[in-house]
Each structure stands twice: as C-alpha cells, then as structure tokens.
Amino acid sequence: MNIVVTGGAGFIGSNFVYYELEHHPEDTIICYDALTYAGNLETLQEAEKNPKFRFIHADIADRQAVYDMFEKEKPDIIVNFAAESHVDRSIENPEQFLKTNFMGTGVLLDACRKYGIQRYHQVSTDEVYGDLPLDRPDLFFTETTNLHTSSPYSASKASADLLVMSYHRTYGVPASISRCSNNYGPFHFPEKLIPLMIINALNDKKLPVYGTGENVRDWLYVEDHCSAIDLILRKGKAGDLFNIGGHNEKQNIEVVKIILKALGKPESLIEYVADRKGHDRRYAIDPTKIREALGWEPETRFETGIQKTIEWYLTHKDWWQHIISGEYMQYYDRMYGNR
Ligand code: NAD
C-alpha cells in the first residue's frame, strides 16, 4: 500500500513514519510536509535511507499540490497529522491554525472525494472535549462526550473533526478519527512541556510552570499512539471514532519534579509564571472502546517512558540544539522573557 503521512516531519508524524517502516516493510511511506517551524528534515534522516520512504515538501492547504500528489502517488491511505499544534501559539495568532487545521483538512478530504481513497484517517486530540474539573477524578472523556473547546487550537481541531464526519456521511469518504491524550517521547519539539523542562533543566535555566502547576494531563508514550493508529487503519473501519489514552494522569508540577529528580537538578529551578489564558484544568481519556473493539493496550508505563525520553534528549543534543538556536529563541523570549 501507499501510505501518505501528512505532517510526518513533526513529532508524532515522524514517530509514525518510523513505526510503519519497521512494522510494515511491504508498504511505501510518503511523508507530505510543509516544513513549518515544527517540521524538521533532520528527524527523517534515518527514514531517508529506506527505499520505501519518500518525502514531498508541500502544504496540505495548497489544493494544486495536494491534487498533484494524489495523481502521482495514488495513495491508498492518508493519515493526517499535519497541523499547527501548539496551544500558546494559537492564542498569540489563530489565523494559521484555521488555514492548516481546518482548511487544509478540507482540501485533503476534497482530494479523497475526487480521486478515491481506501481510508482517510484524521489524527485528532482529546482537547476537542474541553476540560474536566480537578475535583472529579471519576469523570473521563468518552467518544460521546460533547465537543466543548477552550483554545483556538482545539476549536480548529474540533472543526476539522466535524468536517471529516460530514464528508464521510455526505460523500461517503471512508474516514476514521482518533482523539489522543498528550504524547511524549523522541523528536518532541522543545516548546512543549516535557522537552522544555528537560532542556531547561539540562541548561540550568529556570523551569517556567503555568499557574499553580496543578493542571492535569493524561500522558501517552508516542509509540503507543502510533500502534493505536496503525490498528485503526488495518483493523478498524470507515466511520470509526476512537479515543486513545493510557490512564496516565499527572499534574504538570509532578511531571516537572520527576524530570528534575531524574536529572539530579534542584527544585529551586522551578518558577511559577502567569497562567495560560483559558487554561484547561484536567484531561482524562477513557480508552475502553478501542481496547474492546480492537484489543489495543498501551505498552509503555510512564515511569519507563519518561526515562527513555530523558535518555533520548541526553543523547540527541545536536537535534534540539539546532532548534533552540533559531526562530524558537524569539518565541521563547516572547513567552518567558530571559528566564
Ligand atoms: P508537530 O507540531 O510536532 O508537527 C506538525 C507537523 O505538521 C510539522 O512537521 C509541520 O511542518 C507540519 N505541518 C504544519 N502545517 C502544515 C501544512 N499546512 N501542510 C503540511 N504540513 C504541515 O505536531 P505533533 O505534536 O506531532 O501533532 C501531530 C498531530 O497530532 C496534530 O494533528 C495534533 O493536533 C495531533 N495530536 C497531538 C498530540 C500531542 O500531544 N502532541 C496529542 C493528540 C493529538
């Protein structure tokens, strides 16, 4: 099969490229990526050595480029990871989020209608459900929880999900959707919580923690997300919607302290900063449906996954040092000043 992975030069997309090349060597993997600030060809260096891998540098919102790709590559499957993905950047400037996350998804769906496809899979997020109260640990997001978004990022992702469902129902595009909790692991862009804290701690810089640090995220090791999507593609069917998560809820401050301890750095590096606007309190996924329907289980416990992740950042300093020396530094200064 020809599998097109849009956004495959980013964090989860690149992990998915490697997962597919390893587990399905019979398939051809075509990464289609605009290489925004979050896309990185260095991440795909190993994949480039594989004759079953190809890279196309283009934008999912560019209709002609998407149609050209369909004519040339004749994809059997599209997995759409391409997105503007950082909530803080969506608060600063929502426009690009609407263009890529909503309009770009629409262009991909139009191409599926025009040329046909075996499966279109939309990689979505638990953030489409909004948040849960901190004092109700009995509540979880299920696939029937109402959409109730908080940020321009999550609103753009929820809108895209609705578009996918409408193309499935109206035009019969064979589409599926997965909504995953927060991922962590190799190739995670340094602006996100876990890599930010690892890198700042390694550099003995302050660790900026929003508000009181009590907000809860439900963490999943990125490879477990990849295995879930792979199962949905191969064992799921058109029209499927699955939540993905591993019951790994942690307060942000707990995660920060685990990282400091693992690196042997003092908690005095922690600095509480003004809270994110509209900050979601708690995310928690109920993954019962995917477990019962497809037999999916996460394999990596948080304690193991965080150690592997820290180890990866220690052994791949070149990768993140190249990133933090560029545009990223201007973003960092805007967000956190000279901390
Ligand atoms: P990322 O920001 O690391 O990577 C996004 C990739 O998409 C980059 O390679 C970028 O160059 C590419 N891209 C952006 N705009 C594009 C465009 N217009 N055309 C083509 N390529 C474009 O993101 P990520 O964290 O890997 O997230 C991937 C997907 O998974 C997103 O759709 C996100 O909403 C979803 N998701 C992420 C998480 C998480 O914890 N990171 C959790 C659940 C769902």
Whether 120 is a known active-site residue: answer no
* Shortest-distance atom of ligand 1 to CA 7: 7
Query: What is the distance in A from the centroid of ligand 1 to the CA of 190?
Result: 14
Query: What is the distance in A from the centroid of ligand 1 to the CA of 13?
Result: 7
% of the chain beyond a pLDDT of 90 = 95
* Whole-angstrom distance, CA of residue 190 vs CA of residue 183: 13
Pocket perturbation via mutation, ligand 1, pick of 17, 68, 81, 123 by most ligand atoms within 8 A of CB: 81
Query: What is the distance in A from the centroid of ligand 1 to the CA of 11?
Result: 7
pTM, full prediction: 0.97
Burial of 215-237, coded b for 16+ CB within 10 Å and e otherwise, reads bbbbbbbbbbbbbbbbbbbeebe
Q: Where are the alpha helices (DSSP H) in the chain?
A: 11-23, 45-48, 63-73, 87-92, 95-97, 105-115, 152-171, 193-202, 222-235, 252-263, 288-294, 302-315, 317-324, 327-336
Q: How many CA atoms lie within 13 A of 276 on its CB side?
A: 22
* Whole-angstrom distance, CA of residue 164 vs CA of residue 160: 6
Note the ipTM here: 0.99
What is the residue extent of each domain of the chain? 2-185+219-248+281-301
Whether 126 is a known active-site residue: answer yes
| pLDDT tier for residue 223 given thresholds of 50, 70 and 90 | very high
Query: What is the distance in A from the centroid of ligand 1 to the CA of 140?
Result: 24
Would you say the CB of residue 217 lies under 6 angstroms from ligand 1? no
* Whole-angstrom distance, CA of residue 272 vs CA of residue 252: 11
What are 9-27's pLDDT values in tens digits? Answer: 999 999 999 999 999 999 9
What separation in angstroms does the CA of 153 have from each of 89, 215, 296?
8, 18, 28
CATH superfamily of 2-185+219-248+281-301: NAD(P)-binding Rossmann-like Domain (3.40.50.720)
Helix (H/G/I), strand (E/B), else coil: 300:
coil
* Shortest-distance atom of ligand 1 to CA 80: 32
| pLDDT tier for residue 337 given thresholds of 50, 70 and 90 | confident
Q: Which of 84, 127, 161, 223 is catalytic?
A: 127
| pLDDT tier for residue 131 given thresholds of 50, 70 and 90 | very high
Would you say the CB of residue 13 lies under 6 angstroms from ligand 1? yes
Nearest to 316 by CA among 228, 195, 177: 195
Would you say the CB of residue 236 lies under 6 angstroms from ligand 1? no
* Shortest-distance atom of ligand 1 to CA 13: 26
Is the CA virtual torsion 220, 47, 193, 316 positive or negative?
A: positive
User: Looking at residue 332, what is its pLDDT?
Assistant: 84
Would you say the CB of residue 80 lies under 6 angstroms from ligand 1? no
What are 104-130's pLDDT values in tens digits? Answer: 999 999 999 999 999 999 999 999 999
Tokens 């503007």 belong to residue: 84
Whether 153 is a known active-site residue: answer yes
Average pLDDT in the chain: 96
Q: Which of 153, 184, 313, 331 is catalytic?
A: 153
| pLDDT tier for residue 330 given thresholds of 50, 70 and 90 | confident
> 295 burial class (0-12, 13-18, 19+ CB within 10 angstroms)?
exposed
Partner residues linked to 221 by β-bridges: 184
Query: What is the distance in A from the centroid of ligand 1 to the CA of 46?
Result: 20
